[in-house]
Structure 1
């Protein structure tokens, strides 16, 4: 079902919303502004329905905050240090959006664009977007698609594709935030499992200044499921960014058939499994959510939602030595990133 809203987007036209449903009763709402995931309503075994993601009361609030709720992020998700990188012997300067660094593709990234509906059905929608040469400082013309598909096992599969006519780093993700309790509660009481042996420490600006570090013996070891609160703010790497906001290099190494992470609500009546072709997950514990408009009257507090963003490691254009595929997309090749979030009612 496709409908226009009375409210206007920043381009003066209505937001366009679409609702998807699967045979198990999962209901998902999206909009074309930012190819954004607005709502995920999961039926539980007792017949109640639980909203699994964070969101605002109306579409018009999404462009007014900086949390990237459910948005498609690009060309390059996460941070590029000093908004510069070298590509084929040439220095490329992109537009800063967080101090001197670029975050999530720049001040006018893909989350702040109207995507075009390519096709839609009850269980799938495909959006497309064209990004011109020089957009936010990135070289070459880029064409992107975002495909959202529901399956009867309660998976939301998000597939990003892109092609370019000049070499350019590409790193797209969806910045959805989860709270499986279905209410404004402290997500640090969720239990989390991340299948990763290494994480990437960052400075106060979220920029990696050294290499990957083993999770063993640190608060970043989620190889055995634990409450997020158990080791929260227990070391300097967390304290620099007021919690978890770090990339984990996954054991799955791009195998979308293998589970990369698992999340449990406080009461364990709703679980979520994560599968991805991406080499890393950025686990963000919602450290700076305070004041962001919420779906209910009022606003969120810090740590009331968490993100598990599938992507390349942050600042990868400046670190070709890292053990992951090359983040530079070249003409004739296609960028493909697939991530599935599977909701498991108990």
Structure 2
């Protein structure tokens, strides 16, 4: 590919749920019990306020030699902040989020920065059939199930275990029947910050019953800084020749179509807002961009370049690399200014975007999509890296 994938940095297939991906790194938290704790010898834990039920939450900070800081909380195994220097050597926070756990719990948008599961994205009509049995899920997105149901992984307390300045693990046991999904699912999410300003996210899971699994992170980014205004002038490139069109309920039609000749063509770099207001049925259905891209396959094993995006004011560039086959690009179409970020700014319309690595939406009901079924005895493993630099 050409365009911004060729920029030089400045100074400052889940390889499918066959679970054979080569991934592993660490983050901050360990154990399969669902309690808020951190008991290892090293920890950066600080209070992050309390939930409505009085449970005390913690925040954890990873740092590197460049002075970059990544901040997380065990409420939702959530990415809260990423503090990095821009082209003018000013430290800015490029991850949108809130000041404490109570603000996350009260938000009208529950997914900021969260680990998403047990199944990320939408399941049509909240139903799927597995080995002849129909499973009915809570429908929290019109007639569909979105991001795990009524109480997905974003709304639970994870066990935290910080290994060192660079590595943080979160673990959670999703019990058999939780949100009506089958099987006890043991999940581990590991965040690691490298000295090259890479934030690596490793996901692992095992189950005692066959179950669908599709984990991702729902960070909202503004590379000019949280609360700095529109993201429509950010320059984006996506390594995908095809995408999965959706119906009016944002459920894939089952087709996989070329992006060529459509507003969804980001194969060459362009500002996010270039085609966002065109008359197009798919843009109308999503209220803008809210679609899954079918990533072009690697010619060699390893992480695949999924996307690159550049903040037009800050000069900060973010690469997204992954083992996943899909990438959900969301242009902040449902942000309504109802919540207050930690910077004091409101979460106004299209002031942040998401690039969520994933298997395809509604995969349990789409036989031509890559499977997300995890079998007992298998291990779900996948990795995504967000790499930051400037120009």
When the two structures are superposed, what TM-score results if normalisation uses the length of structure 2? 0.85
Mapped pair 1:171 → 2:214: yes
- Which deviates further from its counterpart, 261-270 or 121-130? 261-270
Residues matched between the structures, number: 344
User: Structure 1 residues 67 and 203, CA, compared in 2 at 3 Å: closer, same or farther?
Assistant: farther
When the two structures are superposed, what TM-score results if normalisation uses the length of structure 1? 0.95
Mapped pair 1:319 → 2:366: yes
User: Structure 1 residues 298 and 67, CA, compared in 2 at 3 Å: closer, same or farther?
Assistant: same
Partner of 1:248: 293
* 2:87–2:314 contact (8 Å) kept in structure 1: no
Instruction: Map 1:171-320 to 2 at 5 A.
Output: 171-182=214-225, 183-234=227-278, 235-252=280-297, 256-267=302-313, 269-290=315-336, 291-320=338-367
Partner of 1:18: 60
Instruction: Map 1:109-148 to 2 at 5 A.
Output: 109-148=152-191
- Which deviates further from its counterpart, 102-111 or 47-56? 47-56
Mapped pair 1:31 → 2:83: no
Bigger relative CO (Cα 8 Å, ≥ 6 apart): 2
The CA RMSD over aligned residues, in Å, is 1.6
Mapped pair 1:339 → 2:384: yes
For 2:308 and 2:123, the matched residues in 1 are separated by 28
Alignment match of 1:88 (pick from 131, 141, 144): 131
* 1:195–1:252 contact (8 Å) kept in structure 2: no
Cα distance, 1:174 vs structure 2: 0.4
For 1:11 and 1:115, the matched residues in 2 are separated by 16
Cα distance, 1:51 vs structure 2: 1.0
Mapped pair 1:154 → 2:200: no
For 2:86 and 2:273, the matched residues in 1 are separated by 25
Instruction: Map 1:56-71 to 2 at 5 A.
Output: 56-65=98-107, 66-71=109-114
- Which deviates further from its counterpart, 203-212 or 100-109? 203-212
Q: Which runs of 5+ in 1 are unaligned?
A: none
